[in-house]
Amino acid sequence: MPITWRNVGTTNPAALLNAGTAAAEQLGQGISDIGAGIDQYADARTTSETNAFLTELMQAPDQGARDNMINDANTAFLNMETINTENYTLGQPERDKQVKLEDEKRALTTAKDILTFEDDISDKNLIEKIKGEKDVLNYQDSIFDANYNIENSDQITAAQLKYSNDQNLIIQNHEKALLRLNQTEGNAGALKISLDAAAKKQELELKKLADEYKLKEIQLKEDIKIEAARLAKELGKKTGLGLAMFNQSGGVFDEKELGMKADDFSAFAAREQELKAMGIPKNAIDKWVGQNIVFHDNGIISPNDFSFQVDGDTYKFGTVLQSEQGDLEAMAAAILNFENDLAQRATASKAYNKAFPDRKQSDFDKAWFAFDKKMLLQPNNAETFMAELANLTN
């Protein structure tokens, strides 16, 4: 029978489609993990820089200095809501003091007004008194001079009664003024006690806040000491810093032969604490450190330090002067990319072994590293690796 399109069977592409779908899902998960790591890094850095900024803010002498610090600050990794809330809290004593001064000024003004009012009353009463006495005398003189009838004595009595009533009114006004003055002094005393109590409470709260920051700083230093001691003990192990030093020295060594000191372990431990605060796990740090960190024994010329390379650029850390070079951000990004590369390599290895079950692991390693070098400037993942192998096979 001749072979035609009617009697030749078709190939089922379901397996190839399933493999492509699985690879796409793994690629998406890897990218999602990188995004989550970057988000955690941003949150951790924001927390770290915000706490450091708050510590400096508490040292400012007054509200104006704090406001200038906030206006001049680089807010890229600062939690401004937390900083503004803390700034308002720190400025409360100054505002309370200003309110206290204004209240005392109003109390003094009120007391002065009362005294002025009393002086005015005294002057007016004196004038009225003299006028009343003069009226009575004039009236009496007119009676005697004109030989008034005895019936006119009622007018004299009325004038004397009016004088007496005026004197009583003057006394009552003085008593009322004195009562208001006493009440004002009492209110001023109560206000002073209240303001003093509020100022004392605010002082205690600020002291408590300062103590909490000091306690956290002390705890961080203790954690670094503990981590430094652990690093020194694990120096001989082939993981993390121990593996890096083994690769660097090429054999058996100890910290004295390498020139490492207690300060060097502390500096490296501090860097590990910073990376952990960004959400990067310890095992990921150790895997990257073992392959990328180089220790430098600088002798007596300058402090020892560490270095690593990313995309052809060299970064150093371990001393105070190197803390502003962006090495922390570069290291965090390199570790996250390294973890992604390992995940993609593992996925590619599984796909390779499934596609070529008769080949050895060394065959995969050789193909992967050749492909990795070729794809230096492009995304290197399992999907593109297997596609490249298919092109080479065809």
Of residues 2 and 270, the one with the higher pLDDT is 270
Q: At what angle do helices 80-90 and 63-72 cross, to 10 degrees?
A: 170
Q: What is the mean pLDDT of residues 31-57?
A: 76
With DSSP H G I counted as helix, E B as strand and the rest as coil, what are the percentages for the chain, rounded to 5? Answer: 80, 5, 20
Q: How far is CA 3 from CA 12, 89, 181, in A?
A: 20, 90, 124
Q: How far is CA 81 from CA 47, 75, 264, in A?
A: 12, 11, 37
- Using DSSP, state whether 306 is helix, strand or coil: strand
Q: Map tokens 């003004």 to a residue.
A: 109
Alpha carbon 158 to chain centroid distance? 83
- Tell me, what's the pLDDT at 100? 86
Rg (CA), the chain: 45
Cβ atoms of 66 and 87 within 8 Å: the answer is: yes
pTM over 0.85: no
Q: Map tokens 């004299």 to a residue.
A: 156
- Tell me, what's the pLDDT at 346? 80
Q: What is the mean pLDDT of residues 339-345?
A: 77
